[in-house]
Amino acid sequence: MRKLAIFLLFCLLLFPQSIKERIEEKWSSLKTYSATLVVKQAKTSKLTKLDPDYKYLFNARKTQIYFQAPHSLRLEGTPYGMLRVIYIINENKYLVWVPGIGYKKEDKFKGIDRKTLSLDFGIIGPDFWNDYDLKVVEETKNSLKIEATPKDNTRKRIIWINPNDFSLQKSWKMNSLGKLNVAYVFDNYFKDQSGVVIPRRIRMFSPDGELVAEGEFQNIKINSPLPQNLFSP
């Protein structure tokens, strides 16, 4: 037994895990995520200019989030008065639906960057580690800075994770020119029974450092069963 332990240790030293393998090992237990985003403040006009998708998340005082790995997302809120708006992404399709007035818009989109959903909520899903080439570009005692290049060469991501528990600290969305488009900062963490460490607070900053949105994730549930029809466009 001792010889086996020594051999395994030797193998780990000789063939250390890649950053992809380390992230996957820590986060692969997460299959579904749901939460209520309570918006504390939001400059929605500025958010919309940064990315039109944000208006569905931060225009409502509360938004219900349902995520199923790897590429399924449903948002529900009331950003326009009393009208409920439902926003669904499933693989490379999306739907905007306003049941109260019968409005429905469906379309397709291209690009791995558009269907990378988990990072926006402070979690790291297979939509990230499987679809991007990852490279550690800076390492400190408390943070790993990772440059993530999508395999279809669309917009890059830069993230910072805690090297001890692999929680997501910051996430930068880059534009098509490789410049910062919007920065997410996460904090107020808790450890779920599945072993992953999840943030309760999100803040979003524009490229010039202005705080444009702040919210709190409440009623967080990890790996609770979600009906498949939630994500049917």
What pLDDT sits at residue 12?
A: 37
According to the model, what pLDDT value does residue 109 have? 74
Residue with tokens 């490379």: 92
Region of 45 please: left (phi>0), alpha (psi -120 to 50) or beta: alpha
Does residue 137 fall inside a structural domain?
Answer: yes
Burial class (CB in 10 A: 0-12, 13-18, 19+), 54: buried
Q: Write down the pLDDT at residue 3.
A: 52
Report the CATH number at residue 201. Answer: 2.50.20.10
Give how many domains the chain has, as a whole number. Answer: 1
Q: What is the pLDDT of residue 2?
A: 58
Provide the residue range defining the domain that includes 118: 18-225
Instruction: Establish if 9 belongs to a structural domain.
Output: no
Which residue numbers in the chain have pLDDT < 50?
4-15
pLDDT one-digit tens code per residue, 57-70: 677 788 999 999 98
In a domain, residue 205? The reply is: yes
CA distance 75 to 175: 24
